[in-house]
Amino acid sequence: MNHELQLDQHSLVSAWQEQLPALMDKGESFTVQADAADQHSLLVHFNAAGRQGYSLDFRCTYVDSREVAVDLLDVEQDGRHTDERSDAVQQLAQRYTRQIHECAQALHKLTH
């Protein structure tokens, strides 16, 4: 059975921009853009809610139409690179990784 991704990157970005807000908490924001280096990848940037000023960047790569690999690329606090090993950052990274997987799952009907 062919499980290759059947959706072009531009359509994928649009679908993610529509679906992801439903998974976000109040006060959070995000951007999704195509990864110019890989047609099967998206770059997702999250701005966390709250006064700590965290932002996290992820690469979401479609392994096939059903599975995504998620990589944390960068963490910043108030515009400066910060240690991604802190508990607060780890919790945010886990939550956003889960949201990325949930979004990919919700879009399965489009990507399959």
Domains of the chain, with CATH numbers?
9-111 (3.30.310)
Helix (H) / strand (E) containing 46: strand 41-47
Query: What's the confidence (pLDDT) of residue 2?
Result: 54
Q: Which two tokens stand for residue 81?
A: 């690179």
By the 8 A CB rule, do 45 and 31 touch?
Answer: yes
Q: Over the stretch 72-96, which tens digit does the pLDDT of each residue have? A: 999 999 999 998 899 999 999 999 9
What does the pLDDT profile of the chain (112 residues) look like in tens digits?
Answer: 456 777 789 999 999 999 999 999 899 999 999 999 999 999 999 999 888 899 999 999 999 887 899 999 999 999 999 988 999 999 999 999 999 999 999 998 888 7
